[in-house]
Amino acid sequence: MAAKFLNGVRGACGTSRYSTRFEAPFLRAAPRKLLALIFSLLLSSCPKAEKTPASRDALILGFSQIGAESAWRIRNTQSVQESAKQAGIQLLFANAEQKQENQIKAIRSFIAYQVDVIAFVPIVVSGWDNVLQEARKAGIPVLVTDRKIDADESLYAGFIGTDSEKEGREAALFLLDKFAGRRKAGDLIRVAEFSGTVGSSVADGRAKGFRDIIEKEPEFEIFYSKSGDFMRSKGYELMRTLLENRPQIDVLFSHNDSMTLGAMDAMREAGLRPGEDIAIITIDAQQKAIDALKAGEVNCVIECNPNQGPLIMDIAKQLIAGGQTPRFIHVDEAVFREGDDLSVLPPRGY
């Protein structure tokens, strides 16, 4: 009975790898209520199996992605999917639609599936301890990718992702340079900050790195700081509302390109010239931001590298082979400034 029931789960999730695993004796003996619970958990966060040429012996990676809030995020997902295929790794992919509880459900379903490795992008820093302990109990190594967490380091195998504090420092360093003349003249330079998702390591890191430098310079004032959740629509709304009282805004420091593009729309609607009336520093380096930099509508673009898939697959393979893996890997990231020769920059791909 139990085996029949769980075969239904397997079919719903579109993978056949786990049939014998679900017929474990404890599950055969499990009461119906428990099985129903497992069924509903698996169904609600049902990970999508990628169609790969993987054999039954292929390594299985369960990956929990935040969602698709930005062009950057979509490229990050593609990078994971493409490199899993290239590495011959079978990918179980789950989109959490911006909800931590969906990520926790997905990780639990990966544990139930007994995948070989779990990787996830934590939407926020905290709240992962319990599910990571469950993974450890099941003997499944977990990789934290893109964003960081505040859990005990013994609960996960390593981190691969961006150095958000460095990104924030780069933004501040650009400003010191750009406003060197006005600083000398003793002018006050007023900065508005649009930050990312509240409680995420990238929003915290970018804000911290930026402040570590800018707050030592008395000519700068961060007079406004609000979260636009990394979304274009919210960047537009924040800027539209901010401009209603016509405050003096010298600089927009935006934690990602999506919010920046929305903010630029609102500036244009208010008759302002982005990049001239308001200096703009943005993070991600998607193609549209690079194009705006070339057109003089953005002044500095700090790259946040979404192409993390190849490293994730490499480390996943090393973990399974029992090799020593680095605890923290920061991906390479560049800074593009106004005046740089960008004519040879290859298309960004996102």
Pick from 18, 49, 73, 170 the residue near ligand AHR by CB under 6 A: 73
Measured between alpha carbons, how far is 158 from 67 in angstroms, rounded to an integer?
22
Q: Between 148 and 317, name the residue whose CB sits nearer to ligand AHR.
A: 148
Q: Is 123 or 242 the residue whose CB approaches ligand AHR more closely? A: 123
Q: Closer CB to ligand AHR, residue 73 or residue 105?
A: 73
Nearer to ligand AHR, 15 or 81 (CB): 81
Cα–Cα distance measured from residue 18 to residue 56, given in angstroms and rounded to the nearest whole number: 10
Beta strand residue intervals within the chain, DSSP E: 48-49, 60-65, 90-95, 117-120, 142-146, 158-161, 189-195, 220-227, 251-254, 279-284, 300-303, 328-330, 335-337
Is residue 304 within the footprint of ligand AHR (CB under 6 A)?
Answer: yes
**Count of residues touching ligand AHR (by CB under 6 A):** 13
From the list 50, 116, 165, 284, which residue makes contact with ligand AHR (rule: CB under 6 A)? 284
Spatial separation of the C-alpha atoms in residues 306 and 201, rounded to whole Å:
16
Shortest distance, CB of residue 302 to ligand AHR, whole angstroms?
10
Q: Is the dihedral of CA 274, 275, 279, 284 positive or negative?
A: positive
Exactly one of 75, 105, 108, 147 binds ligand AHR (CB under 6 A); that residue is 147
Question: Distance between CA atoms of 76 and 109, rounded to whole angstroms?
Answer: 22
Q: Is 171 in the site for ligand AHR (CB under 6 A)?
A: no
202 lies in the site for ligand AHR, by CB under 6 A: yes
Residue 170 binds to ligand AHR (criterion: CB under 6 A): no
Strands 48-49 and 90-95: antiparallel
Q: Which stretch binds ligand AHR (CB under 6 A): 70-78, 207-215, 269-277, 288-296?
A: 70-78
| Cα separations in angstroms, 155 against 60, 141, 301, 315, 323 | 20, 9, 35, 16, 17
Question: Rule CB under 6 A: is residue 109 a binding residue for ligand AHR?
Answer: no
How long is the chain? 350
Comparing CB distances to ligand AHR, the nearer of 49 and 285 is: 285
How far is residue 208 CA from its own chain's centroid?
A: 18
72 binds ligand AHR (CB under 6 A): yes
Out of 81, 256, 260, 308, point to the residue binding ligand AHR (CB under 6 A): 256
Residue span binding ligand AHR (CB under 6 A) among the ranges 64-72, 111-119, 215-223, 263-271: 64-72
Shortest distance (Å) from residue 202 CB to ligand AHR: 4
Torsion of CA 51, 54, 59, 61, to 10 degrees: -10
Ranges within 211-230 binding ligand AHR (CB under 6 A): 230
Q: For residue 10, which amino acid is it?
A: R
Buried (b) or exposed (e) across 218-236, using 16+ Cβ within 10 A? ebbebeeeebbbbbbebbb
| Binding positions for ligand AHR, rule: CB under 6 A | 69-70, 72-73, 146-147, 202, 230, 256, 258, 283-284, 304
